Amino acid sequence: MSTDVQLFEDRLTIERQLKASREVVWQYLTDPALRQKWFCAGDMDAHAGGKMVFAFDHNRISNSPPPGKTGCSEAITFEGEITTYDPPRELAFSWPEESGADTHVRIRLEEKDGGTQLHLEHSRLAKDEHRSGAAAGWHAHLDLLVDLTNGDEARDFWLHYEPLEKMYADKVKAQG
């Protein structure tokens, strides 16, 4: 199974096989204390129509300095709306973009091979830089989730993210 993100015109998909049960993976998706170890902190309502707070501070998941891009070193917080909340099978939510047009993330969890198959789709990605940035971000963040749910030490986010960012920017550019 490829661990790379599959890129399409306005969306991306990615899959990961995790050794943990769906219930454990669900906790890592929805419990802010666990979610901040691989992605971002922030409260969320446990129902569709509720809000999901994305409190990003990559200093929590990286010992390395961030890349020299604007906005990478500061903590940021924004909110989305939960569109599906079906434990421990599916979580979907809106993801606000600076342009004001929300994108959408859907995560499905299936029992497979004694663990969990995670399927993620991020859609409504209108700009190339959104697709490449989201691809690198999801790839790196989900690799940290795999590390943690497999009982391993999570790798350093920025060291992992930077080469992925270049790889996905090149892939998006090649798609033209």
Distance separating alpha carbons of residues 136 and 113, to the nearest angstrom: 27
SS3 174: helix
Q: Which of 24-33, 61-70, 117-126 has the lowest mean pLDDT?
A: 61-70
Look at residue 128 in the predicted model and tell me its pLDDT.
87
Q: Report whether pLDDT(41) > 70.
A: yes
Q: Which residues contact 176 (CB under 8 A, 6 or more apart)?
A: none
Look at residue 2 in the predicted model and tell me its pLDDT.
58
CA atoms within 13 A on the CB side of 110: 8
Distance separating alpha carbons of residues 23 and 111, to the nearest angstrom: 10
What are the structural domains of the chain? 6-175 (3.30.530.20)
Q: What is the mean pLDDT of the chain?
A: 92
Tens digits of residue pLDDT in 124-153: 998 888 899 999 999 999 999 999 999 999
Residue 24 tokens read as 């454990």
In terms of Cα–Cα distance, which of 66, 71, 69, 93 is closest to 82? Answer: 93
In terms of Cα–Cα distance, which of 74, 83, 87, 86 is closest to 102? Answer: 83
Look at residue 1 in the predicted model and tell me its pLDDT.
45
Tens digits of residue pLDDT in 47-104: 999 999 999 999 999 998 887 664 566 789 999 999 999 999 999 999 988 777 899 9
Question: What length does the chain have?
Answer: 176
Cα-based distances in Å from 120 to 1, 50, 66, 88: 15, 20, 25, 14
Residue 60 tokens read as 């929590």
